């Protein structure tokens, strides 16, 4: 059952379309992430769901009821903002209970809920402290507790972890996802951080310029991006996108003689993830190493083919000086192809190795024995 249904929602700010005719559904009990760069319309969409903004057109349904013009209090949902918005003069207990007191929930019920929620988020020993006496992670837990204690079935979260340091963000992602599953909450979560989206979401809605660019599970967006934008936005480091052109023997990487397909190259872009590029002892495509970034478990190499740059991810430490010539290759099944003009993914028989029934010409350019 869909907890939230969004139908052709548009939001205009003057002549600007902040949200441009988007539609999606959020299943009950799921964790859905609205992902995209700053200004793509994700926070505006969340505010429309919350009732803090009215759409210019379109409809919002919550549990099957049309709530497009309903006040926030009628929607039976809670919200966690980027700012914790805690009352500095109230202790943790009173901050968590504030909403229940406003709604005049009786004292016994308030205390029952408080004990349960404080234990869930690890605040049982901190209830008498003021916000100034808490760490960033503890303040975030207070904001979450305040949302959870309402016992609303839907929770909207607008970049709630962005003020935390990297280590604490990772810890809170794990805690937040576990808490959502334990309580079977429906969560709509806004972030620009694709690592957050990939690690927490059941489904990602990738937005760009007020529209939905791609929607699906994290594995789908990573393994089969629908557009050049999706390919470049999802993944760290991002997918390599190499411009192709026509060569005498088929598609070649622009600025090089490296043949990478039997079909035409002009107007097409070749995609390959950094972890799927391999450094070869011989054969392959000639490239120039520019820099290495050692990350501990692996090394990210910046290289150049002709005039185009690409990233290579290899396990462990890789040592080489800038300017070192290297040879690279890849397996055909890891290639992606996009139309340069529309940015859309191309499918079917496109003349690239792995998609063309004819012998793959990449075999002659990546390894003496065939595939690298």
Looking up residue 260, the CATH number of its domain turns out to be 2.40.50.140
Do 222 and 284 belong to one domain? no
Do 163 and 32 belong to one domain? yes
Do 119 and 7 belong to one domain? yes
pTM for this structure? 0.86
Strands 31-35 and 203-208: parallel
pLDDT at 183: 85
Residue where a domain terminates, one of 227, 246, 269: 227
pLDDT at 368: 33
pLDDT at 1: 62
- Please indicate, yes or no, if residue 211 is contained in any of the structural domains: yes
Residue where a domain terminates, one of 171, 205, 227: 227
Tell me: the pLDDT tens digits for 301-310?
Answer: 999 998 899 9
- Residue found by looking up tokens 């411009």 in the block: 243
Looking up residue 26, the CATH number of its domain turns out to be 3.40.50.300
Q: Which 3-state string (H, E, C) describes the chain?
A: CEEEEEEEEEEEECCEEEEEEEEEEEECCCEEEEECCCCCCHHHHHHHHHCCCCCCEEEEEECCEECCCCCHHHCCEEEECCCCCCCCCCCHHHHHHHHHHHCCCCHHHHHHHHHHHHHHCCCCCCCCCCHHHCCHHHHHHHHHHHHHCCCCCEEEEECCCCCCCHHHHHHHHHHHHHHHHHHCCEEEEEECCHHHHHHHCCEEEEEECCEEEEEECHHHHHHCCCEHHHHHHCCCCCCEEEEEEEECCEEEECCCCCEEECCCCCCEEEEECHHHCEEECCCCEEEEEEEEEECCCEEEEEEEECCEEEEEEEECCCCCCCCCEEEEECCHHHCEEEECCCCEECCCCCCCCCCCCCCCCHHHHHCCCCCC
Q: Indicate if the pLDDT at residue 372 is higher than 60.
A: no
- Please indicate, yes or no, if residue 371 is contained in any of the structural domains: no
Residue 9 lies in domain: 2-227
Q: Indicate if the pLDDT at residue 29 is higher than 90.
A: yes
pLDDT > 90 in the chain, percent: 66
Do 150 and 279 belong to one domain? no
pLDDT at 355: 32
Do 249 and 342 belong to one domain? yes
Tell me: the pLDDT tens digits for 171-199?
Answer: 888 888 988 998 899 999 999 999 999 99
């Amino acid at each position: 059952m869909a907890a939230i249904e969004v139908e052709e929602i548009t939001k205009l700010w003057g002549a600007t379309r902040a949200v441009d005719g988007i539609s999606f559904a959020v299943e009950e009990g799921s964790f859905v992430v609205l992902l995209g760069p700053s200004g793509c319309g994700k926070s505006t969409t969340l505010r429309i769901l919350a009732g803090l903004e009215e759409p210019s057109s379109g409809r919002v349904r919550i549990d099957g009821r049309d709530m497009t013009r309903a006040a926030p209090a009628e929607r039976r949902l809670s919200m966690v903002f980027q700012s914790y918005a805690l009352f500095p003069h109230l202790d943790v207990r009173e901050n968590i209970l504030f909403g229940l007191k406003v709604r005049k929930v009786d004292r016994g019920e308030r205390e029952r809920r408080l004990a349960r929620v404080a234990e869930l988020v690890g605040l049982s020993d901190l209830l008498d402290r003021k916000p100034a006496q808490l760490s960033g992670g503890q303040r975030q837990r207070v904001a979450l507790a305040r949302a959870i204690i309402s016992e609303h079935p839907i929770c909207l979260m607008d970049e709630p972890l962005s003020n935390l340091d990297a280590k604490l963000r990772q810890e809170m992602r794990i805690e937040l996802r576990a808490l959502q599953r334990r309580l079977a909450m429906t969560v709509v979560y806004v972030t620009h951080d694709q690592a957050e989206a990939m690690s927490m979401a059941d489904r990602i809605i990738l937005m760009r310029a007020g529209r939905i660019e791609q929607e699906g599970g994290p594995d789908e967006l990573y393994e089969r991006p629908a557009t050049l934008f999706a390919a470049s936005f999802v993944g760290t480091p991002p997918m390599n996108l190499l411009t192709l052109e026509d060569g005498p023997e088929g598609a070649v990487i622009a600025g090089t003689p490296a043949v990478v397909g039997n079909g035409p190259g002009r107007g097409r872009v070749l995609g390959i993830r950094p972890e799927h590029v391999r450094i070869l002892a011989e054969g392959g495509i000639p490239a120039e190493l520019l820099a290495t970034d050692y990350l501990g478990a692996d090394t990210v190499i910046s290289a150049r083919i002709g005039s185009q740059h690409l990233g290579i991810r290899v396990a462990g430490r890789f040592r080489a000086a800038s300017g070192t010539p290297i040879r690279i290759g890849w397996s055909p099944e890891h290639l992606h192809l996009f139309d340069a003009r529309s940015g859309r993914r191309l499918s079917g028989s496109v003349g690239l190795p792995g998609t063309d029934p004819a012998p793959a010409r990449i075999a002659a350019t990546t390894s003496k024995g065939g595939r690298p």
